[in-house]
Structure 1
Amino acid sequence: MSQSSAAAAASGPATTNSSLHTPAPAAPHRTAPRSDWFTIPEPLRLVFKRFPLVTYAPNELPVRSPSNRELPVLYVFASDQDVLKGLPSYNPSCLKWQTFLKLAGVQFRIASSNNHASPTGALPFLIPSSSPSDAASQTPIPSNRLERFALEQGSEKLADAAGSKLDAYQALLDHRIRNAWLYTLYLSPGNASLLSQLYVEPCSTSTVVRTTILHKLRRAAEAEILQSIGAPRVPPTALCIGAEQAFEALSAGLGSDKWFFGNSRPGLFDAAVFAYTHLLLDDSLDWIDTRLRDSLLKFPALAEHRERLLSRCWGQARE
């Protein structure tokens, strides 16, 4: 027997007992793909690869906006009839800036709008005068930049007031008087008809839509009041008392002067006060719940201040 044959015989057949106890080579281990919340499924990944996400530019102005504006346009809450006559807005925030621009000597016109149509989500906003070739001037100016715009573009030098006294008086407007205003117009049952006339009826003729808008307006007003006073419910009597105390403080601060802080010219704070006093005393607004108006009438200095500004800006003083 050859040496190779002997080796083969010694090793035995392929299926010996020793071969049964020898482990077969292990198959390569494959790690299952890991999945987590941040993994995009393959079908969606392919969709986004074909249609990538993009960031859109800010909304353009409405098509009806004139492309060639010789005058700046202030967009405010106002009826179409009042816009044609250039009358004061029926919204305090809008009226404040409408008045201030007039005091600053800025030539402008007003246009009727609403918060949904505003690029900033709130009124007022202003579109500067422009021409089609001036793309930069198409950018809206929100209310928090209107003071600077008026000071730069206006022809009149306005009074400047600052300091703790201004802050204290401004707080009276922003809290006590505004809270009472919100209750009086938005939540008082007696003035429901006026609220609907100003803010609801112009939006739609649908009863369902009007009801929804009215509900949202009232909820928003209630939420703002509650956040301001830190209470679980709206206290109508306390709000009216607080507003009357604020009117008393403002009247004492004005004293026998024509304008606040003893200035020789009216300024931004005068416009802010006028925005409330004018609307409460405006005979064209049909106030049924007159508690806030009656409180204001107890302080003739504020009523006279309103008449002076009305005459100065609109030439409609009622002697």
Structure 2
Amino acid sequence: MSAPPEEASRREKESRQNQTKPRQTAESSWFKIPAPLARLFKKFPLLTYPPNELPARSPKSRDVASLYVFISDQDALRGLPSFNPSCLKWQAFLRLAGVEFRVVSSNNHASPTGALPFLIPPAKLNDPKSQTPIPFNKLEQWGLDNGTSKLPNVPSRKLEAYEALLDHRIRAAWLYTLYLSPLNSGVLSHLYVAPNSASQIVRTTILYQLRHAAETEITKSSGKPAVNSTTIYDSAREAFEALAVVLGSDPWFFESPTPSLFDATLFSYTHLILDESLGWEDRRLNEIVQEFPSLVQHRDRVLQRCWPSLA
């Protein structure tokens, strides 16, 4: 696992600028990889393998679609929200669109495209292609075509600026909070490290890879040579404030009568940031979101629509 799991789903956006040379940062140098592991990586560099076949446990036929996401097996059986924003975004969107589906615990390595989420449609009689996997970048159209609810089509010119707030400032704050904040190491380990291996050396390696990839993405996105938590959280506060202003007193963004994909995208961050069950120790991002009651209420409305038993 050489990158934060949700990083793979960033392919739905335009390619970013060429990656800058690796830098050491002031606040994140404390998680340097141990020297023995560094020497091991030099001898045996990480490889990127081609997309995998579908998981062997994938059933051959289904009455409903299956959405493969980051989630524990227990939570998948209960249909609960994924702990990964990129997966939760599409999980919420499909529910808002009125698509009947089940969730399956998975990881990037099990995805045919190398990224989660992906969806396998329900089987159709005498149609072997009916269960061709749907990658995340085609889920919006598939959901609109197969859902029972009509969702609004928000003009792209309205979306671009506000999507940038989510994709850069808020995402950077999420990456720092989960991957780089020392106080939240336990949350990171519980979600992404411990489930992969009982070996301490493997866990140490995974932890290093996740943190290094998060640090790289933050510096690349910000264009600054060092990760500075104060700057990251200040930028996130400005982004949330701008979103609160555009939402105003309306229930949904852009004066839409019903929630759209944008509402699902914001929810994928605010819900996880406000989710007390995750056990956040560094609560700075949680406290920032709490400063904007309209965004908290927006999260609650989406939760009520998608998971009423949790609201």
Measured against the shorter chain, the TM-score band is 0.7 to 0.9
1:177 and 2:174 are equivalent in the alignment:
no
CA distance in 2, matches of 1:98, 1:273: 13
Match for 1:166 among 151, 159, 174?
159
CA shift, 1:61, in A, is 1.8
CA distance in 1, matches of 2:114, 2:156: 31
1:99 and 2:92 are equivalent in the alignment:
yes
Question: What amino acid maps onto 1:179 in structure 2?
Answer: A
Change (3 A) 1:98 1:258: same
1:128 and 2:111 are equivalent in the alignment:
no
Question: What amino acid maps onto 2:202 in structure 1?
Answer: V
Unpaired stretches in structure 2, ≥5 consecutive residues: 1-49
1:114 and 2:93 are equivalent in the alignment:
no
Question: What amino acid maps onto 1:121 in structure 2?
Answer: G
Aligned length: 262
1:269 and 2:262 are equivalent in the alignment:
yes
1:251 and 2:244 are equivalent in the alignment:
yes
In 1, are the aligned partners of 2:89 and 2:264 still within 8 Å (CA)? yes
SS of residue in 1 equivalent to 2:68: strand
CA shift, 1:310, in A, is 0.4
- Alpha-carbon deviations, 1:191-238, whole Å to 9, x = none? 000000000111111111111111111111111111101111111110
CA distance in 2, matches of 1:109, 1:58: 23
Unpaired stretches in structure 1, ≥5 consecutive residues: 1-56
Q: Which residue number corresponds to residue 54 of structure 1?
A: none
- Alpha-carbon deviations, 1:144-184, whole Å to 9, x = none? 00001001111110011123331111000000000010001
Q: Which residue number corresponds to residue 137 of structure 1?
A: 130
Residue identity over aligned pairs, in percent, reads 61
CA shift, 1:59, in A, is 4.2
Question: What amino acid maps onto 2:144 in structure 1?
Answer: L
Question: What amino acid maps onto 1:106 in structure 2?
Answer: V
Match for 2:227 among 229, 234, 237?
234
Moved more, 145-154 or 164-173: 164-173
Q: Which residue number corresponds to residue 63 of structure 2?
A: 70
CA shift, 1:132, in A, is 8.1
CA distance in 2, matches of 1:157, 1:127: 22
1:199 and 2:188 are equivalent in the alignment:
no
In 2, are the aligned partners of 1:307 and 1:317 still within 8 Å (CA)? no
- Alpha-carbon deviations, 1:72-123, whole Å to 9, x = none? 1000000111101100000000000000000110000000001111111111
Give runs of ≥4 in structure 1 deviating > 6 Å: none
Question: What amino acid maps onto 2:205 in structure 1?
Answer: T
Q: TM-score, normalised by structure 1?
A: 0.80
SS of residue in 2 equivalent to 1:126: strand
CA distance in 2, matches of 1:95, 1:213: 23
Question: What amino acid maps onto 1:251 in structure 2?
Answer: A
CA distance in 2, matches of 1:229, 1:130: 44
1:190 and 2:183 are equivalent in the alignment:
yes
Pick the structure with greater CA Rg.
Answer: 1
In 2, are the aligned partners of 1:68 and 1:132 still within 8 Å (CA)? no
Change (3 A) 1:59 1:289: closer
CA distance in 2, matches of 1:189, 1:229: 21
Q: Which residue number corresponds to residue 313 of structure 1?
A: 306
CA distance in 2, matches of 1:201, 1:133: 42
In 2, are the aligned partners of 1:67 and 1:131 still within 8 Å (CA)? no
CA distance in 2, matches of 1:218, 1:230: 18
CA distance in 1, matches of 2:94, 2:192: 24
Change (3 A) 1:132 1:156: closer
In 2, are the aligned partners of 1:308 and 1:317 still within 8 Å (CA)? no
Q: Which residue number corresponds to residue 29 of structure 1?
A: none
Q: TM-score, normalised by structure 2?
A: 0.82
Q: Which residue number corresponds to residue 20 of structure 1?
A: none
SS of residue in 2 equivalent to 1:242: helix
Q: Which residue number corresponds to residue 52 of structure 1?
A: none
Structure with more contact order per residue of length (Cα contacts < 8 Å, sep ≥ 6): 2
In 1, are the aligned partners of 2:53 and 2:111 still within 8 Å (CA)? no
In 1, are the aligned partners of 2:177 and 2:184 still within 8 Å (CA)? yes
Question: What amino acid maps onto 1:261 in structure 2?
Answer: F
Match for 2:53 among 51, 56, 60?
60
CA shift, 1:58, in A, is 6.7
Change (3 A) 1:247 1:62: same
